[in-house]
Amino acid sequence: MNPTHRRLGFSFLYFTPHVTDAHHRWFERLRAHGYDGAELPVVAATEAELVATRRALDTNDLAATAVGFATTDADPLAADAAGRQRAIDHLRALCDKARTLGADVLAGPIHSAYGRFSELPPTAAEHARCVEVLRAAGDHAAKVGVTLAVEPLNRFECYFLNTAADCAELVRAIDHPNVRGALDTHHAHIEERSLAAAIASSRGTLGHVQLSENHRGTPGTGQVDFTSVRTGLDAIGYDGWLVVEAFSRHDPHFGSALRIWRTLDQGAEDVLAAGATLARTHFGATIPPARPDAR
Ligand SMILES: [Mn+2]
């Protein structure tokens, strides 16, 4: 399989974990730089905000993907059934929000509570709980036309799921058409022996890709080997989203939560342009060209 068109997205986590109409002005800039869509955080979003965001996306002819995470109050790994039910309810609510946005993918660390560590390696019991919760969430995702994309994180942010191979194994165990894996090159650069081998291990399970640097700043200015990412994705016939993901301190609290302690870019225009250039350089004709009004 030789993909001819992958869609290019830009994650609004660059600006904030809670998008409001103050951020909608950036949609025009995404379109101008040739992005097909925006990846939008949904955990904190209200229904009214999501409706307004969808309208602003439509104005700029942009698609959406959604990004979310599991919380300590709604942890798929919870030992008690009531806790796991809260996790299922939480993931169902995120699916509903994704649908309101018109997003076909809900990506992120939805496998375990963000920021919670057991201080031990993952156990077989935790794996089984995660399978149960994500399979149930997948049933709801299917009803609303969303695909869940389970994102491994590096060891400093998560103990439960660190590698592409473990993610692929988890997705196969969940065995649900609406539950796929995600790959974020920032985490993979830290955890994998080889990006190409990691992507090869995701064959048949990969549903979402985020392009992010080792330093989380301006795409293309770091050490991530995007040539290997392209080779690897071509080899497995990946034809989903490529979402540029960078972080900043535009929202100081969120920046600190993500351990962003210094300025990593020259502003949003710099990151938008660099992400589009990186994608065109490495993914060539598989993504769309910039519109003539890009500047
Ligand atoms: Mn990510």
Distance of CA 288 from the midpoint of ligand 1 (Å):
22
132/84 Cα distance (integer angstroms): 9
The whole-number pLDDT of residue 284 equals: 78
Tokens at 293, concatenated: 């009004």
Distance of CA 25 from the midpoint of ligand 1 (Å):
23
Distance of CA 71 from the midpoint of ligand 1 (Å):
16
Distance of CA 202 from the midpoint of ligand 1 (Å):
16
Using the predicted structure, report yes or no on whether residue 18 has a pLDDT greater than 50.
yes
CB-CB contact of 97 with 41 (8 Å): no
Read off the pLDDT of residues 154-181 as tens digits, 9 standing for 90 and up: 999 999 999 999 999 999 999 999 999 9
Using the predicted structure, report yes or no on whether residue 1 has a pLDDT greater than 50.
no
Question: So where are the chain's domains?
Answer: 7-286
Distance of CA 108 from the midpoint of ligand 1 (Å):
6
Read off the pLDDT of residues 215-257 as tens digits, 9 standing for 90 and up: 999 999 999 999 999 999 999 999 999 999 999 999 999 999 9
- Name the E strands within the chain: 7-11, 37-41, 63-67, 105-108, 147-150, 179-184, 206-211, 241-244
Q: Which residues contact 171 (CB under 8 A, 6 or more apart)?
A: 150, 179, 180, 181, 205
Length of the chain as a residue count: 295
Helix-then-strand count for the chain, H and E: 10, 8
29/125 Cα distance (integer angstroms): 46
100/94 Cα distance (integer angstroms): 10
Distance of CA 184 from the midpoint of ligand 1 (Å):
5
Distance of CA 289 from the midpoint of ligand 1 (Å):
24
Distance of CA 78 from the midpoint of ligand 1 (Å):
23
Using the predicted structure, report yes or no on whether residue 295 has a pLDDT greater than 80.
no
The whole-number pLDDT of residue 276 equals: 95
Distance of CA 36 from the midpoint of ligand 1 (Å):
18
Mean pLDDT estimate for the chain: 95
Read off the pLDDT of residues 71-92 as tens digits, 9 standing for 90 and up: 999 999 999 999 999 999 999 9
83/160 Cα distance (integer angstroms): 17
Question: Checking DSSP bridges between strand 206-211 and strand 241-244, what pairing results, if any?
Answer: parallel
Using the predicted structure, report yes or no on whether residue 3 has a pLDDT greater than 70.
no
pLDDT-based confidence at residue 265 (cuts at 50, 70, 90): very high
148/139 Cα distance (integer angstroms): 10
Distance of CA 155 from the midpoint of ligand 1 (Å):
13
Compute the average pLDDT of residues 22-41: 97
Distance of CA 245 from the midpoint of ligand 1 (Å):
7
Distance of CA 191 from the midpoint of ligand 1 (Å):
14
Read off the pLDDT of residues 275-293 as tens digits, 9 standing for 90 and up: 999 999 998 766 666 665 5
108: which strand partners?
150
Distance of CA 210 from the midpoint of ligand 1 (Å):
6
Distance of CA 187 from the midpoint of ligand 1 (Å):
8
Distance of CA 123 from the midpoint of ligand 1 (Å):
24
Distance of CA 211 from the midpoint of ligand 1 (Å):
8
Using the predicted structure, report yes or no on whether residue 125 has a pLDDT greater than 70.
yes
Domain 7-286 in this protein, CATH class = alpha beta
Read off the pLDDT of residues 135-159 as tens digits, 9 standing for 90 and up: 999 999 999 999 999 999 999 999 9
Distance of CA 40 from the midpoint of ligand 1 (Å):
12
295/277 Cα distance (integer angstroms): 12
256/206 Cα distance (integer angstroms): 30
Read off the pLDDT of residues 57-68 as tens digits, 9 standing for 90 and up: 999 999 999 999
